[in-house]
Amino acid sequence: MERVVSKLKVLFLCTGNSCRSQMAEGWARRLKGDVIEPYSAGIEKHGINPHAVKVMAEAGVDISKQYSKTPADLGPVQFDYVVTVCGDANEQCPIFPGKAKVVHAGFDDPPKLTRHLPDGEEKLSVYRRVRDEIRKFVETLPATFQNRILAQASSPHPSPPKEERG
C-alpha cells in the first residue's frame, strides 16, 4: 500500500505581492513542488512586477500567470508555514488560524533599490541578485524551517530587516 505524503502548505508573504513573494512562490513550485504547496500574498495588492517576471523567465521559471493577492483572497487555507520575505510584512504579519508558524527570511526590495535607475541591465542585475538569493533560500526548504523557528525563539532581539523601510 502506497503511503500518501501531504505537502507542506507554505505562504510567502510580502508587502505588495509584486516581486519577492512571487519569486519565492515560483521557485518553491519549481524546486520543491514534491514537498511544498506554495502560495504568495501581500499585505496589500500592488500588481505583479514585470521585471520579476522577466528575470524569473530568464531562469526558466514562468510566473507570468501568477497575480497579486492578499491572504484573504486565498480563502481558508490552513498554512503550515508563513514566510515573511520583507521587514514590512514581518512587522505587519496578520494572525493566521491553526498551526501556522511564521518564519522571517528578509530579502532586499528590488523595486525600492532600483527606483532611481532607468530600465536596463543595471536595474535587472539587482532583480537577478535577489532572485538568486531567494532560490538559495528555497533550496534549503523545508529543513530550514525548524532551524529558523528555533533561532527566532531564542533570539532576544530579532535581527532587523535587510531592506530599508519606506
Known catalytic residues are: 14, 86, 93
Any residues with CB less than 8 A from the CB of 136 and at least 6 apart, and which? none
- Determine how many CB atoms are found less than 10 A away from the CB of residue 44: 14
CB 40 within 8 A of CB 22: yes
Phi/psi-derived region of residue 110, left when phi > 0, alpha when psi is between -120 and 50, beta in every other case: alpha
